Amino acid sequence: MDWTDRHCRRFWRTLTRHARVYTEMVTTGALLHGDVERHLRFNDEEHPVALQLGGAVPTDLAACAALGEKWGYDEINLNCGCPSDRVQNGRFGACLMAEPALVRDCIAAMREACDIPVSVKHRIGIDHQECYTELVDFVGTVAAGGAEVFIVHARKAWLQGLSPKENREIPPLNYDWVYQLKRDFPQLTIVINGGIETLDACEAHLEHVDGVMLGRAPYQNPWLLNEVDTRLLGAIDAVSTDREAAIEAMLPYIEGQLADGARLHHVTRHMLGLYHGQYGGRQYRRHLSEHAHKAESGIEVLREAAAFCAAPPERAVAAG
């Protein structure tokens, strides 16, 4: 939440055409009682894009799934993995893993309300759930509601005593349970998530499961996405670009957003990691951080930042 907004997803599309991108979680209350356009509008270039919902009332989720289809999303995803206190207080997110029958009913209602795929994102367990059979019971029960795609974060969520950040790092990863899910449910699409930082790791996981979801890694190092289409998806129409070309490709979009009243940093904050590990990357990030938030800042600030990453001058070598 507050990370993968439509500006972020639009930027990622300069690097990968075919990876499926997911929205930040949107609650049913925000859609049913708030500004639908603000939450659901996206750019046509984002396809394929999935709408991630947070909620626990089948009728509400059904109404929101129908809204998502109407707005043109390619998939609806039910979040059963977020461990934040705010989400728990709303009785959705990871705490729903304690109520698999309710999740089943939610999925069934959503599938009835729309004709696009409905998937589930969840953990391998919560709090007291210590054995694999409990995970099997959850997946089997939810699959009975019509879910065919399960995105599994290979960590438990400890709902008491850990912050959301700690829940992404402290509970140990258990990839073997996710692999076993695929063996036990071969008819389901099982996607693995959690602690995956390289395309080498993606390839290793794809020996056991159907897909890989990347979270923090491409946000911190977006260039990771540049090889996804060819290396993982076998696409022959992959984006062919370099970092400078990716920036140039974003400029018309950014100018349009500025004309609509946005500030430069609304977009460029998602581009800070583009030169991760590259010459001049630190200066690039600093320049954007110091200037992009200013009301008067335009695309020239982004071009100035990128200039720090031009190839370093060759050192003169003297022979004596």
Residues known to be catalytic: 82
Q: Which token pair is 234?
A: 């076998």
Q: How many helices (H) and strands (E) does the chain have?
A: 15, 8
Distance separating alpha carbons of residues 48 and 112, to the nearest angstrom: 22
Structure-token match 């400890």, residue found: 158
Distance separating alpha carbons of residues 275 and 264, to the nearest angstrom: 18
Measured from the Cβ of residue 162, the count of other Cβ atoms closer than 10 Å reads 15
Report in angstroms the alpha-carbon separations of 315 from 52, 209, 216, 309, 312: 51, 48, 37, 17, 9
Are residues 110 and 61 in contact, defined by beta-carbon separation less than 8 angstroms? yes
